[in-house]
Each structure stands twice: as C-alpha cells, then as structure tokens.
Amino acid sequence: MDDLQFRRAIYADPNNQDAEVTLAQQKDASKKQFAQEMNQLDEKIKQALQVPVPDHLCDKLILRQTLANHQVQKRKTRVYLALAASVAIVAALLVNFMQFSSAYNNLGDYALAHVYHEQDKFTNNDSNTVTLASLNQKMTAFDGNFSESLGKLLFADYCRFGGLKSLHLVYQGKTSPVTIFVVPKNEQLAFTTAFNDQQLFGSSIEFTNSNIIVVADKNESLAQWQQHINKTVSWSI
C-alpha cells in the first residue's frame, strides 16, 4: 500500500484494522505514528462532542418557548386592539356623520338635531361669558363682525354643520339657552326660513355667503333676535 492510499484509509477511519493497513504500519514506522496521531485526534473529537446535558434542560427549553410564544401573542393582541380602536373611531365618526348629514337635507332639521345633540352641555345659568372681541375674532373666519353683543354669550366655538366649518353660539335666553349658528352656504342643505318641532322654534337669515340660524324655545321672540342680528352683523365681502 503506497503512502497516499494509506493516508486516505486512516483519514476515513483512524481505527482501521484492515490487514493491508495493519501490515503497512508494521513495515513503516512513520505510517504507524501517523495512524496513532489520527487515532488520538479522533478520540479528542469524540470527547469534545460528549457534552453533558444540563439539569432541567428540557424544562428550561419549554419555558423559553412558552415565553417566546407569549411575547408573540402580546404583539398580536396589541395589533388587534389598535385595529379595533381604529375601527371604533371610524364607526363613531361615520355614525356622527350619518346622524347629522344623511338624515337631514335642510338647515332647519339639521339645526334642531345639532341643538338636541349638545343641549346637555349648556344651561341658561352657566357662569361662562364670552367677550364680543373673542366672538369677532372667530367671526373673521366668515368675514363677519358684530358691532355689539346680542346678549350674554355663554359659548362660542367652531363646529361641523353639514360637513362645513361653522360657528356655534349659545346665548342666555329668557328661560333656556338660545342657539345661533353661523353657517357658510351649503347646496346640500336646503334653506328653510322657519322651522319647529314640539319644543323648539327656529328661523334662518340668508346673507350673501353665509346663513345665520336661530334656535330657541317658545318663550323667545325669534323676530327680535333676527332684527338684532340684522342690525349688528356686517360682512367684509
């Protein structure tokens, strides 16, 4: 057996006991030494691979897998909650839009629905008072101005009326709050001069680019409110 064949045989099996391999080792001391070195190396590799299994390794692996699954489930839960919250917000916005848009096609019906929707937020004895200057600052968004106050103004802020940015005013009335809306012209809501239901009465005043709507109970004189508005409001365009 030549040297190359011998080395291949030892590399393949350091403990090779074939007669030809054994004879080659007996005839050549260098071959025998090579075989012994490869045999020792093979033993070292076997010992290195024989790593003792730690105590409770199985339990630790199961626990680690359980914790990993729990983290994945938590992430999924957060995603589901975020999606659910988004759906809830969209649904609320849609309901609100449907409540104040699709169900009403004229200024009067929409104004009544808007007042009833927020009537619990205001009382005739609220201590809040909005100044004329603060009111006119908001009126600049509609190119309008009030030369004097219509009465004790309890609330003044922007709102959505028929999908448009409008101004919602609440005044102290004789027995209950009087609501006034300053609304840009909207072709989707038909103009209604006068309207009412069993509790509230309303009237609309048409201007060039905006409508002003007054809603109050039966104890108020809508004609006086209209007259006061016509006398005090002015428009820059």
Give all domains of the chain, ordered by start, each with its CATH number.
3-49 (no CATH), 107-235 (3.30.200.100)
Residue percentage of the chain with pLDDT more than 70 = 86
Choose the weakest-confidence range: 100-114, 156-170, 184-198.
100-114
Quick check: 151 pLDDT over 90? yes
pTM score, whole prediction: 0.58
Quick check: 95 pLDDT over 80? no
In single-letter form, the type of residue at position 221 comes to: S
- pLDDT for 55 equals 67
Distance CA 171, CA 154 (A): 5
At residue 105, what are phi and psi to the nearest 5 degrees? -125, 10
Beta pairing class for 144-146 and 233-235 = antiparallel
Give every strand in the sheet of 210-217, ordered side by side.
153-161, 164-171, 178-184, 210-217, 200-206, 194-196
Tell the residue number behind the tokens 């005013």, with chain if given.
Answer: 169
